[in-house]
Amino acid sequence: MNSSAVDEVVGLCQDLLRIDTTNTGDPRTTVGERVAAEYVAGKLADAGIESRLLESAPKRANLVARIPGADRSRGALLVHGHLDVVPADKSEWSVDPFSGEIKDGYLWGRGAVDMKDFDAMVLAVVRDWQRTGYVPPRDIILAYTADEEAGMEYGSQWLVQKHPELFEGATEAIGEVGGYSYTVNKDLRLYLVQTAEKGLDWLRLHATGRPGHGSFIHDDNAVTALAEAVAAVGRHRFPVVVTPTVRTFLEQVGEALGIDIDPADPELAIAKLGPIANLIGATIRNTANPTRLEAGYKDNVIPGRASATVDCRTLPGQAESFLAELREIIGPDVEIEHVHQQPAVETEFGGPLVNAMGAALRAEDPGARTVPYLMSGGTDAKAFSTLGIRCFGFAPLQLPPDLNFAALFHGIDERVPVEGLKFGVRVLDRLLRNS
Ligand SMILES: [Zn+2]
């Protein structure tokens, strides 16, 4: 490849990090998405790539572009990244989270790994193609989205609902979170390719009782009933369920590390995986974590109603059995309201694109081996997969062996290794040229 993409990726990423695109979840305090989308549009336009800026609400901008491929009869490949970031509290950071500072071999800033790094890589690669007259083998659709960090309502979900025509013919997609390395030893690095995501079900539990005076004997107290249900849910450990993706992951990791991982009881082995243990631990069972409580309005009044929010994450194929189990735990009297639901997604770890990922990685890192994994969180892939697109998390990065990568997502001192970013550009370029 031409080296210009590698040369400019750091500067592009710095520019993006310096645009504050904090998404608080409240449209009144969410900023910068339009500025960032205009920046990307400008960089694409410089290289002669036309794009469309689409606002789902004032300043909630999404950007879509299509680069025609050599064989237009083939299905297109969607390459997507979100431009928004979660908030950062400057007082907790070692550097200004929006300074794009380079220090100790890292580029620092909110969004450095989630996911302005990949946004910049994509931009660097396609700008280089345009400069050198390169035409990719098939159509590449670029999508830069808003609102990934707060439910996707103004971003990918809006795009697929209002403008599905922009993604016509797309068969596969790559985006976050995957493609990063986990070092086994100096000759072997596993690169985790995301092929599945857990589903999300935000529930509100409602308990009702007889309102009354706080000084009386009272056996029908909504707060007590709710508290019992919340405690039962919070203390419950759902059983281990090993889905196809996780089974393959455990087999391959077990083989790479030379350890036997018992699929019926993989927890002990997962705990030994170091930096990625946290990422994997939540992928072998459904989870339900109480996050909010709401009841009462005065110290001496027993309210008639009490509510709690529970953040539930379900494995592919488990949504219904999970709900049945949850109902048993909380009992028949507490009402369940579904506040926000997103289904789990899963695709096979196979096919030409998956093979091309492995080949692109090995060309840059002879010790690379790809393994599929299930992610416990959710991404824009949930929206795009509703269009029938096979979605993969593949934003390639080579990481230092001891870096706690998982902790950087939404974390304090989020940063990306500069060399890892350049590595990512080279791998992405190879992949897209052979996709
Ligand atoms: Zn993200």
Q: At what angle do helices 33-46 and 4-18 cross, to 10 degrees?
A: 160
State in Å: Cα 187 to ligand 1 middle: 30
How confident is the model over 208-260, as pLDDT tens digits? 999 999 999 999 999 999 999 999 999 999 999 999 899 999 999 889 888 88
Six-digit token string for 175 = 């985006």
% of the chain residues with pLDDT over 90: 86
Q: At which residue do the structure tokens 């030893």 appear?
A: 185
Contact 66, 140 (CB under 8 A): yes
Where residue 48 falls (left for φ over 0; alpha for ψ -120 to 50; beta otherwise) is: left
- Position 1 scores a pLDDT of 56
Query: What pLDDT, on the 0 to 100 scale, is given for residue 199?
Result: 95
In angstroms, what is the span from residue 388 Cα to ligand 1's centroid?
21
In this prediction, residue 428 has a pLDDT band, given cuts at 50, 70 and 90, of: very high
In this prediction, residue 406 carries a pLDDT of 84
> pTM of the prediction?
0.91
- Residue 45 half-sphere exposure, CB side, CA atoms within 13 Å? 10
- How does pLDDT run across 267-303, given as a tens digit for each residue? 888 887 777 787 788 899 999 999 999 999 999 999 9
Using alpha carbons, list the distances in angstroms from residue 269 to 3, 229, 265, 274, 392: 41, 32, 8, 10, 25
Q: 85 CA to middle of ligand 1, Å?
A: 7
Q: Distance, CA 330 to ligand 1 centroid (Å)?
A: 33
Q: Which residues of 238-261 are buried (b: 16+ CB within 10 A; e: fewer)?
A: beebbbbbbebbbebbbebbeeeb
Tokens 């492995």, residue?
Answer: 358
**Residue whose pair of structure tokens reads 């596969």 in the numeric block:** 172
Predicted confidence at residue 105, as pLDDT, reads 96
CA separation for the pair 325, 232 (Å, rounded): 12
pLDDT of the residue at 404? 87
Q: What are phi and psi of 326, to 5 degrees?
A: -65, -40
Q: pLDDT of 340-363, one tens digit each? A: 899 999 999 999 999 999 999 999
Residue 113 Cα to ligand 1 midpoint, Å, equals 8
Spacing, Cα 189 to ligand 1 middle (Å): 23
Better-scored residue on pLDDT, 68 or 273: 68
| 4-47 pLDDT tens trace | 899 999 999 999 999 999 999 998 899 999 999 999 999 999 99
Ligand 1 centroid to 380 CA: how many Å? 8
How sure is the predictor about 111, in pLDDT bands with cuts at 50, 70 and 90?
A: very high
For residue 86, how far is its CA from the centre of ligand 1 (angstroms)? 9
CA of 67 to the centre of ligand 1 (A): 24
Q: How far, in Å, is the centroid of ligand 1 from the Cα of 149?
A: 7
Cα–ligand 1 centroid distance for 403 (angstroms)? 18
Q: How far is the CA of 377 from the centre of ligand 1 (A)?
A: 10
Note the pLDDT of residue 2: 54
Average pLDDT over residues 128-156: 96
Mean of per-residue pLDDT scores for the chain: 95
Terminal-residue alpha carbon distance, the chain: 15
- Span 298-326, mean pLDDT? 96
- Residue 115, preceding bond cis, omega within 30 degrees? yes
Quote the ligand 1 centre to 194 CA distance (angstroms): 13
Is residue 348 within 8 Å of residue 196, measured between CB atoms? no
Instruction: Over range 191-203, report the average pLDDT.
Output: 95
- Res 59: pLDDT: 93
pLDDT digits (tens, 9 = 90+) for 38-67: 999 999 999 999 999 999 999 999 999 999
Output the CA 45–ligand 1 centroid distance in Å. 25
Q: How far is the CA of 81 from the centre of ligand 1 (A)?
A: 8
Percent of the chain with pLDDT over 70: 100
Average pLDDT over every residue of 65-80: 97
Q: 37 alpha carbon to ligand 1 midpoint, in Å?
A: 16
Q: What is the whole-number distance in angstroms between the Cα of residue 154 and the centre of ligand 1?
A: 15
> Under a CB-based contact definition with an 8 Å cutoff, are residues 368 and 181 in contact?
yes
**In angstroms, what is the span from residue 60 Cα to ligand 1's centroid?**
17
What's the pLDDT at 279? 75
Predicted pLDDT at 283: 92
**Cα(6) to centroid of ligand 1, in Å?**
22
Paired with 417 in beta bridges are 106
pLDDT at position 275 is 72
Mean pLDDT of 92-117: 97
Token pair listed for 366: 């002879």
